[in-house]
Amino acid sequence: MRKIITIQHTQSEQHLNKMIGSWSDWDLTASGIDQANNIGKRLSSEINANEYVLYSSDLSRAKSTAEIVGSYLGTSPIYAEALREFHLGEAIGHSKEWAKNNLCCSVFPGTVDWSQKVDDIPFANSETKLDVWNRVSVFLDNVLRATDKNLIIVSHDGTLSILFAIWLGLDIEQLNRISFFGKTGGVSFLSEDDHGNRIIHRLNDMSYIQ
């Protein structure tokens, strides 16, 4: 059985200053550092770290989360640009309030920058859901072929939402009407059994940051 643990990066500065995250490099807050330490401690008591390879987005908030978690597991992250959050084009460097007032398409209810349709562009020069689907699909296929080990993946809310859909074998068009919303520091557990069945055992478990 192949196992994957995903970690949504812990609290970072843009969660407090109400800025767009995207490809901007935001540092973890003091609380985010504590949360990452708690995740690392908990995982180190639950898994055999030698059975896992740790991958992470190379953006600062995910990178720092992965480095802290990895320190408890005795492993260093492998950084992958494919695991970055959505590139939001001209919204980068702006506030979420600015984003609300400058949308180029309809967004999923309750969100600021999550386009409703898979090929919609929320801001000029943004990635679409399809763009992120393609880069995450290539990453996941390559990594699963490259190693027989289990995986730990540290990434971002939007990117992990796409990864979960890919893992379950959903048709991308279904993302026009469904989504997987995560929370800061959420830990999820996925697996593929010996018959090729893919499972999400736990989604966005928040107990690990405590």
Q: Domain boundaries in the chain?
A: 2-85+129-209
The per-residue b/e assignment along 25-64, b for 16 or more CB within 10 angstroms, e otherwise, is ebebbebbbbbbbbbbebbeeeeebeebbbbbbbbbbbbb
Strands 187-192 and 78-80, sheet pairing: unpaired
Mean pLDDT to the nearest integer, 161-189: 96
Architecture of domain 2-85+129-209: 3-Layer(aba) Sandwich (3.40)
Residue 13 is predicted with a pLDDT of 97
Strands (E) in 9-166, as ranges, are 52-57, 78-80, 150-155
- Model pLDDT, residue 113: 93
Query: Which whole number is the average pLDDT over 166-170?
Result: 97
Rounded average pLDDT over 57-66: 98
Mean pLDDT score across all residues of the chain: 97
